[in-house]
């Protein structure tokens, strides 16, 4: 704490951004309109057993802050999950089971639950910092801002403490705390890479890792920079029941 | 040897058609119960898919069990028309928002308990289906399903051939975060051995969504048979918290009776329930990403019979899965579950090893 306090004293000055300005910058750093990517999700439990899933994901941000974001995730492996797909539009989640050809709207309580047994929940898929959080600047370090983010709507966690990079406002670390102020989940972003797409260059983490403190389970999502595209044209009907069933 | 031949044939098909990226599953089953002799057998299947120019999808799903093979899916899906899909061939038709019971799933119904069986794959129906999408969450579907059915007696001797056909239309939309569907099905006559279910007109309604603030999922699925003037209805609710998922359904079946003395046991062959009121509940606990436990109960509220069961599903790795499904049957000889109990006894279980690649 002393070191942290020293760092605050050392690097805070009148030119530092306010909490809301930082949130705006973070929002802008992730301000792509669409995203398409291939990813591999590895779940490693405390015994070292590994479960590997691969999926293609599509994402489209709402045109305004009040519009819903949409995402579609289609699993491509392992074989037992191939064809399974999940559509998230705003607060709604539709799950497609290709073995019964049935689409089911899940209850919104599912949003707080684990996504396919991973350390990520469905609500982790869409974070709109300015819209979803209040909070404060906890510390200003040489290269990072440290923020406390309190969700406006009830979520799995009571609050998050995040570290965002000053150079590009990418979130490097997020600690999730429960209502008892206990750290229960830790997210780390790594391998920040410049991705060129549609003439723009964006810095994005190629690895996002979540560690669940209680059982030591680690979930790692790895993106291939060659398979990520931003701001491409994605038709609205990709985020539809029609696409879910394909 | 016959089983092995089928497996090898499937494997060779897959190799030859490797461009189709087949998904193959092989399952070893071992079942036992209090009264029946233990039995083991093999089953499996292969699913092939090929996409032509993003506009045409071909799906083939073959399944074998013991020495018998069947085609679950053999369909071509045309997607080149604007906002419209046309599917021709044997296809799975999955209607209904209910969790364990689906009254509206008339055209291609699932058997009771399929929800809790991780190896279940729906049989297909030979059909032509057109689905037009008005927007991302609104659509209308037209389907015509027809087939020639060979009826057999309980020893498997062919009795007769009959033509079974169904036609249906279903409109679906999302209204204030609730999925709402209305449907009409012209349901053809069904013949099961010597039991005949007459043709009927079925009016369906499905509503599913979430109760605001408390976040419980709720649904209603109703099917009204206008010729028989009978209603089947499911009211359900579910909730996810942490690694748990709880579901509860009340099923009202006007085809059934509240008095066990009025049960028509021959209806069991048709997949219909005998009683009028049921409560079905389940609790799933995902211990971790590899191991999940499910407990469920089908309670006949009219004769107090109960089928209780569980599923232990362990994924050893990405390809190998171990499944254990114990069950208990509780009820007198004159209850709905009594017939099953006379065959299987008070308890039983099925263990499976499933290999998917």
Interface of A with B (CB under 8 A): 43, 45, 49, 51-52, 77-80, 82-83, 89-92, 99-110, 112-114, 116-118, 215, 217, 236-237, 239-242, 246
| Mean pLDDT of the region A90-107 | 87
Sign, Cα dihedral of B252, B183, B236, B190: positive
Rounded average pLDDT over B223-246: 95
Given this model, what pLDDT does residue A73 score? 93
Q: What CATH number does the domain located at A19-245 have?
A: 2.50.20.10
pLDDT digits (tens, 9 = 90+) for B297-311: 999 999 999 999 999
Q: Which range has the top average pLDDT, A118-122, A140-144, B250-254?
A: B250-254
On whether any CB of chain A is under 8 Å from the CB of B216, the answer is yes
Contact yes or no for B97 and A215 at CB 8 A: no
pLDDT for B211 equals 94
pLDDT band at B20 (very low <50, low <70, confident <90, very high): low
Strands (E), B188-243: 190-192, 195-197, 200-210, 217-225, 230-241
Please indicate whether, in this complex, the C-beta atoms of B210 and A77 are within 8 angstroms of each other. Answer: no
Residues of A in contact with B240 (CB under 8 A): 106-107, 109-110, 112-113
In this prediction, what percent of chain A has a pLDDT beyond 90? Answer: 42
A51, A219, A242, best to mutate vs chain B, most B CBs in 10 Å: A242
pLDDT over 70 (residue B173): yes
Residue in this structure with the two tokens 């979130």, named with its chain if needed:
A171
What pLDDT, on the 0 to 100 scale, is given for residue B9?
52
Hey, is B286 helix, strand or coil?
strand
What percent of chain B clears pLDDT 70, i.e. is strictly above it? 93
- Closest chain A CA to residue B133: A242
Burial of A33 (0-12, 13-18, 19+ CB in 10 A): middle
Is the pLDDT score of B341 beyond 50?
yes
The stretch A199-214 carries a mean pLDDT of 89
Q: Where are the domains positioned within chain B?
A: 81-222, 242-357
Q: Residue A95: which pLDDT band, with cuts at 50, 70 and 90?
A: very high
Position with higher pLDDT, A229 vs B12: A229
Backbone Cα Rg of chain A = 18
Contacts of A113 in chain B (CB under 8 A): 240-243, 245
Q: What is the DSSP letter of A18?
A: P
pLDDT at A13: 55
Give the β-pairing of B84-91 and B68-78: antiparallel
Q: What is the pLDDT of residues B192-225, one digit of tens each?
A: 777 888 999 999 999 999 998 888 999 999 999 9
Q: What is the pLDDT of residue B164?
A: 85
Q: What is the mean pLDDT of residues A40-55?
A: 91
Cis peptide before A78 (omega within 30 of 0): yes
- Which of the four pLDDT bands, split at 50, 70 and 90, describes residue A7? very low
B69-96 pLDDT, tens digit each? 899 999 999 998 889 999 999 999 999 9
CA pair distance A166, A13, nearest whole angstrom? 14
Closest approach of chain B CAs to the CA of A110, in angstroms?
Answer: 5
The answer for residues whose C-beta is within 8 angstroms of residue A17's C-beta and 6 or more apart is: A25, A145
Q: Is the pLDDT of residue B8 over 50?
A: no
Residue (of A216, A227, A186) closest to A55 by Cα position: A227
The residue among B164 and B12 whose pLDDT is bigger is: B164
> Cβ of B145 under 8 Å from any chain A Cβ?
no
Of A157-171, B151-165, B183-197, B244-258, which range is least confident?
A: B151-165
Q: Where are the alpha helices (DSSP H) in chain A?
A: 2-11, 19-29, 129-132, 241-244
Q: Cβ of B187 under 8 Å from any chain A Cβ?
A: no
Helix or strand run (H / E) with residue A199 = none
pLDDT in tens, A57-86: 999 888 776 778 889 999 998 888 888 999
pLDDT on residue B72: 92
What pLDDT shows up at residue A2?
34
* Counts of helices then strands in chain B (DSSP H, E): 2, 20
Q: Mean pLDDT of all residues in chain B?
A: 89
Least confident of A75-79, A204-208, B8-12, B300-304: B8-12
Closest chain B CA to residue A77:
B318
Q: Considering only alpha carbons, which residue of chain A is nearest residue B114? A: A100
Instruction: Give the mean pLDDT of A17-37.
Output: 86
Q: Residue ranges of the domains in chain A?
A: 19-245
**A183 to chain B, closest Cα gap in Å:** 16
B:310-339 residues touching chain A, CB 8 A cutoff: 315, 317-319, 321
């Amino acid at each position: 704490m002393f070191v942290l306090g020293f760092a605050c004293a050392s690097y805070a000055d009148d030119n530092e951004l306010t909490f809301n300005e930082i949130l705006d910058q973070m929002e802008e750093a992730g301000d792509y309109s669409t995203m398409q990517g291939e990813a591999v999700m590895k779940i490693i439990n405390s015994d070292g057993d590994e479960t590997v899933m691969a999926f293609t994901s599509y994402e489209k941000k709402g045109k305004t802050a009040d519009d819903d974001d949409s995402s579609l995730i289609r699993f491509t492996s392992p074989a037992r999950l191939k064809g399974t797909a999940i559509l998230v539009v705003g607060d709604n989640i539709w799950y497609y089971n290709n073995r019964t050809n049935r689409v089911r709207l899940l209850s919104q309580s599912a949003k707080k639950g684990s996504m396919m047994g991973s350390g990520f929940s469905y609500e982790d898929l869409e974070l709109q910092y300015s819209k979803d959080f209040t909070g404060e600047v906890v510390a200003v370090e040489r290269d990072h801002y440290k923020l406390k983010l309190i969700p406006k709507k009830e979520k799995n966690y009571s609050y998050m403490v995040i570290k965002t990079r000053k150079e590009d406002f990418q979130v490097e670390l997020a600690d999730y705390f429960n209502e008892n102020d206990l750290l229960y989940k830790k997210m780390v972003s790594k391998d920040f890479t410049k991705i060129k797409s549609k003439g723009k260059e964006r810095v994005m983490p190629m690895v996002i890792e979540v560690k669940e403190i209680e059982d030591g389970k680690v979930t790692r999502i790895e993106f291939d920079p060659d398979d990520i595209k931003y701001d491409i044209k994605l038709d609205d009907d990709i985020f539809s029941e029609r696409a879910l069933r394909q | 040897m016959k089983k092995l031949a089928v497996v090898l044939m499937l494997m060779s098909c897959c190799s030859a058609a490797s461009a189709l990226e087949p998904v193959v599953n092989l399952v070893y089953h071992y079942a036992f119960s209090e009264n029946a002799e233990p039995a083991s057998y093999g089953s499996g299947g292969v699913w092939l898919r090929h996409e032509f120019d993003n506009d045409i999808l071909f799906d083939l799903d073959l399944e074998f069990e013991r020495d018998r093979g069947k085609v679950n899916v053999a369909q071509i899906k045309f997607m080149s028309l604007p906002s419209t899909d046309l599917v021709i061939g044997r296809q799975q038709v999955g209607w209904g928002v209910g969790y364990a019971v689906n009254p509206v799933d008339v055209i291609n119904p699932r058997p009771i308990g399929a929800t809790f069986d991780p190896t279940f794959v729906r049989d297909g129906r030979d059909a032509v289906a057109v689905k037009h999408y008005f927007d991302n969450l609104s659509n209308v579907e037209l389907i015509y399903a027809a087939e020639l059915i060979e009826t057999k007696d309980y020893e498997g001797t062919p009795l007769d051939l009959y033509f079974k056909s169904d036609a249906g239309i279903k409109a679906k939309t999302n209204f204030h975060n609730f999925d709402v569907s209305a449907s009409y099905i012209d349901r053809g006559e069904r013949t099961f051995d010597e039991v005949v279910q007459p043709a009927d007109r079925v009016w369906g309604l499905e509503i599913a969504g979430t109760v605001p603030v408390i976040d419980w999922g709720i649904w209603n699925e109703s099917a009204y048979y206008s010729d028989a003037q009978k209603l089947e209805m499911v009211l359900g609710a579910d909730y996810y918290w942490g690694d748990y998922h709880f579901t509860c359904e009340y099923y009202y079946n006007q085809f059934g009776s509240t008095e066990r003395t009025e049960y028509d046991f021959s209806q069991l062959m048709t997949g219909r329930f005998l009683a009028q009121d049921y409560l079905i509940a389940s609790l799933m606990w995902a211990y971790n990403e590899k191991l999940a436990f499910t407990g469920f109960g089908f309670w006949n509220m009219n004769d107090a019979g109960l089928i209780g069961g569980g599923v232990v599903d362990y994924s050893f790795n990405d390809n190998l899965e171990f499944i254990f499904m114990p069950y208990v049957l509780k009820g007198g000889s004159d209850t709905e579950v009594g017939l099953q109990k006379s065959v299987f006894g008070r308890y039983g279980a099925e263990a499976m090893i499933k290999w998917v690649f």
